[in-house]
């Protein structure tokens, strides 16, 4: 048995997420310092950073709504296909030879297409 416990996947993911957040905050700090170096007031630089943060949040929200709409649409299409009756139905009428010659007959042996006898 070793003296140190192994990191779980959840712990590694949490550490990765923490490093990503810390790097993002460092980039934001660099942006604010760059803006202040250009002559923008510190309060204005902070507002620009917050606007970028909110726009990124709005972009993620719109993407998640779009993804949810696509998933719901696919689910509804699949549900409609599962409930539909796609089995083959035998037709009520068919073209065949019958008592009055070749024509369109029902199941009750009645010819329903307009036909002309040769005797007429």
Domain boundaries of the chain, sorted by first residue = 9-83, 90-120
Q: What's the whole-number average pLDDT of the chain?
A: 88
Please report which confidence band the pLDDT of residue 1 belongs to, taking 50, 70 and 90 as the band edges: low
Phi (first) and psi of residue 101, to 5 degrees: 95, -170
- The dihedral over CA atoms of 97, 98, 100, 105, expressed in degrees to the nearest 10, equals -90
Residues 6+ apart with CB under 8 A from 42: 32, 36
Q: Is 28 helix (H, G, I), strand (E, B) or coil?
A: helix
Top-confidence residue, 1 or 81 = 81
Cα 20 from Cα 4, distance rounded (Å): 26
The pTM score is: 0.54
Q: What are the pLDDT digits (tens) for 25-60?
A: 999 999 999 999 999 999 999 999 999 999 999 999
The pLDDT of residue 120 is above 60: no
The whole-number average pLDDT for the span 63-85 is 93
Cα 99 from Cα 112, distance rounded (Å): 12
């Amino acid at each position: 048995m070793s003296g140190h416990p192994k990191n779980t996947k959840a712990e590694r993911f949490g550490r990765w997420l923490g490093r990503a957040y810390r790097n993002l905050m460092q980039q934001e700090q660099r942006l604010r310092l760059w803006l202040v170096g250009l002559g923008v007031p510190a309060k204005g630089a902070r507002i620009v950073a917050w606007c970028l943060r909110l726009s990124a949040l709005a972009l993620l929200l719109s993407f998640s709504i779009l993804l949810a709409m696509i998933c719901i649409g696919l689910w509804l299409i699949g549900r409609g296909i599962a409930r539909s009756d796609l089995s083959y139905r035998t037709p009520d009428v068919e073209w065949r030879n019958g008592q009055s010659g070749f024509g369109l007959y029902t199941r009750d042996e009645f010819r329903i297409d307009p036909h002309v006898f040769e005797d007429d």
